[in-house]
Amino acid sequence: MSPLRVVPAITPTIAATTRRSGPPAISALAGTAAEVMPRHWTFLRSPAADGLTNMAIDAALLDLAGETACAVWRCYGWTMPTISFGRNERTHGRFSPERLRDAGLHAVRRPTGGRALLHAREVTYSVAMPLDERLSWRVAYAAVNDVLLRALQSLGVPAQLVAEHETEPVAPNGPVCFDQPAVGEITVHGRKLVGSAVWRQGGAYLQHGSILLADDQALLADAADVPLPPAPPAASLEACAPAQAHWIVVVNALAAALATVVPPNPAGTIEPFVPPLDFPARVASHHAVLGNDDWLWRR
């Protein structure tokens, strides 16, 4: 299925989440977390790839989640510094192919919403899973962020979820991603550490985002056609937990955190992802759409 055939865009907003010093939880949405988390998961550690390939794989996993109820937690990296734009974000008058090329950056438009961010030294995660159409996507968003928070806190990172009273609504064409945290996102001392974007496609849900090993977001300003508003530094593991600022360390923590929330009764499972035979063709189909300039520079 082409990523163009989906429901209207959504912006992550969840109920306020209470800060706590003990083990993290989904807080106000905890009563429905068991409904949204699948019992059976697969975990995929992907080699670093270019932006188009990474986005095409995530889009193909979203298709699988809707068609086969497969739940995949994927971790990956990037072979070159790449700016990704949100699905409906305006780029005209703000960014251009020429300026990006001069800055030595590649660009891709995500199949999810959100705003521009730079992918470089980070751990990128994606979650593609079935989601009953009767359930709110906000519950899935909170459940995934709970796993992220568990993983980071297990590494000694003083991470917290942003509560509703701690931030203002973020416009789709507002500041770039790491300028301003949204409700439910993960911060350290008020600065965003994890930027996430989401998309719902019928009975399936995709969430992916960046866990910063180091803060390279200032490079966005060098690639913009117009001056961007000055942004506070983002949080990064290099700054707040330097001993843990390694891709494999964070990925192992994510796998361990996922295992703590898989419903135990009946016994849940987490297995390596084994792609179906038609998976390369699915990825190639999305690659062709996402790699078209009519998609990348459509707004």
Nearest alpha carbon to residue 219 among 181, 172, 178, 171: 178
Nearest alpha carbon to residue 193 among 227, 228, 221, 155: 155
Nearest alpha carbon to residue 52 among 299, 297, 283, 294: 283
Catalytic residue positions? 177
DSSP of 32-68: HHHHHS-SEEEEEEPPPB-HHHHHHHHHHHHHHHHHH
β-strand pairing of 82-85 with 117-119: antiparallel
Q: Cα-flanking dihedrals φ and ψ of residue 82, to 5°?
A: -140, 135
> Cα dist. 284→33, 191, 234 in Å?
34, 37, 34
Q: DSSP character for 153?
A: H
